[in-house]
Amino acid sequence: MTLIIQTGSIQRRLALQLSIVAGILSFTLFMLIQVVAERAAMDTQDNILKASAASIADALYTENGIVRLELPYSALSMLGTISQDRVFYRVLFKGETLTGYDDLPLQNENSLTNKSKFSTFRYKGEEVRSISLKRSIGVNGAFSDAVIIVAQTRLGLNLISQKITRTATAIGVVFFLFGTGLSVWAANIALTPLNRIAIAVSRRGPKDLRPVTGTSPLELKPLVDALNSFILRLKSSLLRSEDFISEAAHRVRTPLATVRTQAEVIHRSLNKSKNKTALREMIRAIDESSRSAGQLLDHAMVNFRADQFEVNTVNLPDLVRDVCERLSPLAGLKDIVINIQSQESDMSFQGDTILLQNALRNILDNAIKYSPDDSEISVNCFRNEKFVISFQDSGRGFSGIDHTDRFTRGTNVSDVIGSGLGLTIANEVAIAHGGSLLINDSKKGVGSCVSLVLPI
């Protein structure tokens, strides 16, 4: 029945999209923290290196035309405080190593200005950060350049960087989780009005044709308006068909009633048996067409009602008694006695009263029609695994007619008036209630048993 293929959920999609945004934001945040923090850590190391190199440079002095260096302890200890890093240094004067590791690489001397220059490279199997500082030193009135190189391994920095990465990751993850949570919540909140309308529409019964009311957000207004106008049209269309069926019945039956009555009056005044027989045939034809029209309209009404089921609690024995009482004058005309047997007085069933009544009436009407004079129809209302209402008559039965054919329009036991719709209607009502109509056929003269079986 579903014509709409369900393609995902707006809420899930919205939440997912917001989560992706949260993910991107979290990653950016992570990168930012990482870069900024590492830069800060590196700047710190560079500053210490610079201070160290400067203090070494400050310790250079000339004595008797020779450049000397009293290496200040603090110059290296300030570096050592960071961690277990190793520190290398080299002091050159006029291109010759005064002290320190003489293989500590020297930057291109020309590129060195008076300012310091930082660089990163591998030395003795480890990555080091170094500073080269140029300082002019006057010896015997002539100035020459001394270069101080201080290098430090980056263990400490890497440690800090790892710590920063961990923290940044933690912050990123927390931010992401928080963001995702917010996304789900936001998606939920955003779709609340939609859900509310969806639930309000899906909860209503089939007969509930009131317009959808309550608040609706601007975006849903066209949808709700369309739904309401559709409901309105459906309502008026349903009312029209119900009116039409009633009106059609009225229009067909009123003139038939006049014709029949006139025919009956004439029939009474006739004396010739030949004319009487002819008129009798005519009245029978009128009865047949009236009955057919009635059943066709009933059939239309049953189909119409079965589409928009109205469920209420029906006490089956009461309903059976009502229907039997209603038809007993008709049965009395043929001296037929209707016997009702009900196993228990309380058998509540959820169904459409009018449809069930119509089904029972049609079955009983049928039974009366096919029963001989002075006979008996037993109506049994009981419960075994299901609710069963059976009508046992002593008519001629349905022999010779396929049972499934009994339920289609127009099949009939020959030479009996009727459109054969009675049991079709009963069968449709049974199916609409999730039950079935059973016919236990008879041998000739024993009668047949029609049962309406309804689920409990």
The distance of closest approach from Cβ of residue 311 to other proteins in the complex, given in angstroms and rounded to an integer, is 15
273 is an interface residue for other proteins by CB under 8 A:
yes
Strand partners, 399: none
The distance of closest approach from Cβ of residue 370 to other proteins in the complex, given in angstroms and rounded to an integer, is 12
Number of residues written out for the chain: 456
340 is an interface residue for other proteins by CB under 8 A:
no
User: What is each CA distance from 204 to 197, 201, 211, in whole angstroms?
Assistant: 11, 6, 11
The distance of closest approach from Cβ of residue 20 to other proteins in the complex, given in angstroms and rounded to an integer, is 58
Considering the complex, state which of residue 374 and residue 405 has its C-beta at the smaller distance from other proteins: 374
CB-based contacts of 308, cutoff 8 Å, min separation 6:
206, 207, 238
Nearest Cα to Cα of residue 44 among 83, 72, 74: 83
Count of residues touching other proteins (by CB under 8 A): 49
Binding other proteins (rule: CB under 8 A), the pick from 50, 117, 260, 386 is: 260
User: What is each CA distance from 282 to 161, 255, 291, 293, 398, in whole angstroms?
Assistant: 110, 15, 14, 16, 27
Tell me if 386 sits within 8 A of 397, measured CB to CB: no
264 is an interface residue for other proteins by CB under 8 A:
yes
Binding other proteins (rule: CB under 8 A), the pick from 287, 318, 376, 441 is: 287
Nearest Cα to Cα of residue 299 among 115, 121, 432: 432
286-293's contacts with Cβ under 8 Å and 24+ in sequence apart are 286/256, 286/259, 286/260, 287/260, 287/417, 288/417, 288/418, 288/419, 289/256, 290/252, 290/253, 290/256, 290/260, 291/417, 291/418, 291/419, 292/418, 292/419, 292/421, 293/249, 293/252, 293/253, 293/256
Binding mask 290-309 for other proteins (x = CB under 8 A): x---x--xx--xx--x----
Considering the complex, state which of residue 301 and residue 413 has its C-beta at the smaller distance from other proteins: 301
Considering the complex, state which of residue 126 and residue 376 has its C-beta at the smaller distance from other proteins: 376
Considering the complex, state which of residue 166 and residue 284 has its C-beta at the smaller distance from other proteins: 284
The footprint of other proteins on residues 387-446 (CB under 8 A) is 417
286 is an interface residue for other proteins by CB under 8 A:
yes
Strand partners, 391: 379, 450
265 is an interface residue for other proteins by CB under 8 A:
yes
Question: For tokens 């240094």, what's the residue?
Answer: 89
249 is an interface residue for other proteins by CB under 8 A:
yes
Binding other proteins (rule: CB under 8 A), the pick from 326, 403, 409, 444 is: 326
Nearest Cα to Cα of residue 413 among 441, 435, 446, 452: 441
Which span (9-17, 84-92, 202-210, 325-333) binds other proteins, by CB under 8 A? 325-333
Binding other proteins (rule: CB under 8 A), the pick from 267, 321, 383, 386 is: 267
Considering the complex, state which of residue 42 and residue 249 has its C-beta at the smaller distance from other proteins: 249
- C-alpha 343/C-alpha 386 separation (Å) is 13
The distance of closest approach from Cβ of residue 249 to other proteins in the complex, given in angstroms and rounded to an integer, is 4
Cβ-in-10-Å burial (0-12, 13-18, 19+) of 148 comes to buried
CB-based contacts of 171, cutoff 8 Å, min separation 6:
29, 30, 33
Binding other proteins (rule: CB under 8 A), the pick from 268, 274, 313, 414 is: 268
Task: Assign residue 141 a region (left: φ > 0; alpha: ψ between -120 and 50; beta: otherwise).
Answer: left
The distance of closest approach from Cβ of residue 427 to other proteins in the complex, given in angstroms and rounded to an integer, is 16
Instruction: Characterize 351-362 residue by residue with b for buried, 16 or more Cβ atoms within 10 angstroms of its Cβ, and e for exposed.
Output: bbbebbbbbbbb
The pair of structure tokens assigned to 346 is: 């309380």
The distance of closest approach from Cβ of residue 441 to other proteins in the complex, given in angstroms and rounded to an integer, is 24
The distance of closest approach from Cβ of residue 366 to other proteins in the complex, given in angstroms and rounded to an integer, is 13
280 is an interface residue for other proteins by CB under 8 A:
yes
The distance of closest approach from Cβ of residue 211 to other proteins in the complex, given in angstroms and rounded to an integer, is 24
The distance of closest approach from Cβ of residue 324 to other proteins in the complex, given in angstroms and rounded to an integer, is 12
Considering the complex, state which of residue 250 and residue 403 has its C-beta at the smaller distance from other proteins: 250
Strand partners, 449: 392, 440
**Where does this chain bind other proteins (CB under 8 A)?**
242, 245-250, 253-254, 256-262, 264-265, 267-268, 273, 276, 280, 283-284, 286-287, 290, 294, 297-298, 301-302, 305, 326, 328-330, 332-335, 353-354, 357-358, 373-374, 417
